[in-house]
Structure 1
Amino acid sequence: MICPPKYFLFLLLFLVGCDSYTPISFDELRSSLQVNNSVLDGTVIEPDKLTLPFSEAYLKQRHFLYERADITSFDVSQQSELAYLKIQERYPERFLPWPAQTNILRNLTTKNASVEHWSTFVVQRLSDAKESKILLSRYERNTLSGYIEEASDEANELKAYLAQYKPRTRLGLYQHPNGKEWYQSKLNYYYGMSKSPNETLNKIQTELAHRGKKVLLELPITKANHVALSYLQSHCELVQGLNWVDAYTNLPATSKHCAVTHNSDITRLFLSLMEIDIGLHYQGWSKQQARVTLQARLRLTDFEADRLVEGTVLYPATIFSLTPFVMFSS
């Protein structure tokens, strides 16, 4: 049988396509994501190879890498993390190209890359995002403005834009389009189970009440905003992950396999942070409400409480990865 020319061409393209989508291992996926994220995580490569975060090229490459993963070779925790990262592609993050967790201007200037080009790109993306009612919080806007103050004059366009930018009124994810669903997806992954945030909050508050109302404790406050990551880095053997936000550490897997023990004061800290996490990102608490709640649970100065609130804003639901260290009374 002789194949028609069109059929032969289709078959040839199909075979070439299959070859270009050769599955990649977990380690290959991790290293490739690090290259794509190089401006985000600070390991900036040569300027002519830079991919601007959340640009079309960045998004396409990230999606391509996710799809190439050979999940049959992944363990359960690796499969869970990849599934979570794929779900995150659905949500507004891609419209906010400069995550407040990282000083991208500093990362770019380290390699003399074009700050002006980046500034123009961010202005355009934020302007487009407004059309879909996707806005930075006041804290995020102020953080980005602070980064710009530390940088060169090349970001003047972005500086002027942020000066007149009207942020959303609250700090939590709930205020974004599909924000509650976005938060729920994060909670499902870091908590390790699918529970309603309100049900989980009730359980946390019941446990805190069982431990005594308004008991004030003196606790060392970590200098890092990412409390869960900082704690695990200090006490556990880290399990490698895929997410740049968590420093390529699989937080739930690390907690699950960590044998560290701690006192009840640390448990109270974790529970209190879990409480305000749901309050801010799902129930719409203000910064003041979250601060007051923390100070009712723990002995904290305003500065310490604000820092913990800010960390909760930047790293939604990550504190729930420490659930294996929290023993509930019932």
Structure 2
Amino acid sequence: MIRFGIDNWFRNSLLLLTLSATLVGCSEPQIKPSAEALQHQLVQLNGMLRRTEAEHIPPLPFDEPYLKQRHELYQALGAVAATPELSYLVIAERFPERYLPWPIYSDISVVLQTQTPQVRQQWFAFVHARLQQAQESRIYLTRQELDYIQTALQTFPASQAKQQLVEYLAGYKPRSRSGLDQIPNGSEWYQSKLNYFSQQTHAPLVWMQMIAARLPAYANESHRETETLDFDKAWLQEFITKRCEPVRGLDWQFDYVNLVETVALCQVNLNDMQKQLWLTIMMLDVGIHYQGWNEQLATQFITEHLDLTADQVSRVLQQVARYPGAVFVLWPVL
């Protein structure tokens, strides 16, 4: 009887000690990563989209492990530093960006040159599969995007996966216009961009009315300042960062510069020619991405409002196609 009592006492004491240790452990505050640490992880994750000093081989952008890890980083950032930019990026997760995995404005082509043949094979096979999935959902590349990928593929050594992708793209039919309106849910995606970059909530048609009311004031201006800008970069980003101290952000598309905060914290003074330029591009932006303007109509609109060469007109159209809605970040200073 005595031994039985001792055994019970021992077991009960051990249980209490274990429970106490567990409760103590639970009561200790969990150390959350800082916003800076999470931003660093995001930059590393996007290492193939935007080159960085990678600590390891960057994951393939837009595959399932990448999407899962990016979502988790967004959620973790939201817990320590929720911002309008982060909310915008979270909203973008709902839209079909994942089905267009080789963006023109990315560094993928350059980064792939430094990777092993196995990584390149994996990437070509992934792009092939993703574009096929996109077609099933009626999501298609633009002619500009298709030409870019086909040209990039020519710079890589021959391989089975590359050849299969080349043959697939040879018979690919891109969408007829470059606007987001031709993508499922594209109008909603475009609206989210307008809301974020302008920090105002207006329907696209209201924006067109507001822009049209301002444009006549600068109708007699002649503009050739575009000659000084680098069209291979984000044109708008270059224009802003030449005038303002960049604020660090989360979006790889703009080299991790938060354009909204940068403009908000900077005194951007535009002359009449610059105002005419950006108002014209805003109207063009809405026309292409919401109204469904084709290249002919867009070109006609540009030449009626800006004195540009044919090459400059082409490059303006490329920039508007690549960065929908972003130009509205300048609305507060117009």
User: If the length of structure 1 is used for normalisation, what is the TM-score?
Assistant: 0.87
CA RMSD of aligned residues (A): 2.5
Asked if residue 41 in structure 1 is aligned to residue 41 in structure 2, the reply is no
Say if 2:204 and 2:286, in contact at 8 Å, map to a contact too: yes
What is the aligned counterpart of 1:162 among 153, 159, 169? 169
Q: SS of 1:38's equivalent?
A: coil
> C-alpha separation between the residues in 2 aligned to 1:242 and 1:294?
32
1:147 and 2:152 are equivalent in the alignment: yes
Q: Which runs of 5+ in 1 are unaligned?
A: 3-7
Q: Deviations over 1:181-204 (max 9, x none)?
A: 000001100011111111011111
Unaligned runs of 5+ in 2: 1-11, 13-17
Aligned match of 2:37: 28
- The separation in 2 between residues aligned to 1:19 and 1:137, in whole angstroms, is 50
Moved over 6 A (4+): none
Structure 1 CA distance, aligned partners of 2:156 and 2:35?
A: 36
Shift of the alpha carbon at 1:267? Answer: 1.0
Tell me the equivalent position of 1:201.
208
Q: Which is greater in Rg?
A: 2
Q: 1:297 aligned to 298, 305, 308, which one?
A: 305
Q: Deviations over 1:204-229 (max 9, x none)?
A: 1221123327x543323312342221
Return the letter of the residue paired with 2:54: I
Three-state SS of the structure 1 residue aligned to 2:225 is coil
Q: Distance in 1 between matches of 2:315 and 2:158?
A: 29
1:137 aligns with 2:142: yes
- Asked if 1:283 is matched to 2:291, the reply is yes
Letter in 1 for 2:137: S
Is 1:220 equivalent to 2:226 in the alignment? yes
Contact 1:101 1:314 in 2 (8 A): yes
Q: How does 1:110-129 map to 2 (within 5 A)?
A: 110-112=114-116, 114-129=119-134
Structure-to-structure mapping, 1:38-187, within 5 angstroms = 38-43=47-52, 45=54, 49-71=57-79, 73-74=80-81, 79-112=83-116, 114-154=119-159, 155-187=162-194
Query: Deviation of residue 46 (structure 1)?
Result: 6.0
How far residue 44 of structure 1 moved from its aligned partner, in angstroms, is 6.4
- Equivalent position of 2:248 in the other structure: 240
Structure 2 distance, partners of 1:191, 1:292, is 26
Contact 2:106 2:253 in 1 (8 A): no
Aligned pairs, number? 309
What SS class does the counterpart of residue 299 from structure 1 fall into?
A: coil
The TM-score normalised by the length of structure 2 is 0.86
The aligned residue for residue 332 of structure 2 is: 324
In 1, the alpha carbon distance for the partners of 2:226 and 2:93 equals 36
> In 1, Cα distance between the equivalents of 2:333 and 2:163?
46
**Residue 265 (structure 1) aligned with residue 262 (structure 2):** no
Aligned 8 A contact 1:217 1:299 in 2: yes
Q: The residue matched to 1:41 in structure 2 has which SS? A: coil
The 3 A distance-change label for structure 1 pair 19 and 132 is farther
d(CA) in 1 for partners of 2:188 and 2:273? 32
Q: Deviations over 1:35-84 (max 9, x none)?
A: 1100010226366x32000011100000011111254x53xxx6100100
1:260/1:193 Cα in 2 relative to 1: closer, same or farther (>3 Å)? closer
* Residues 272 and 294 in structure 1, CA contact (< 8 A), matched pair in contact too: yes
Deviation at 1:31, TM superposition (A): 0.8
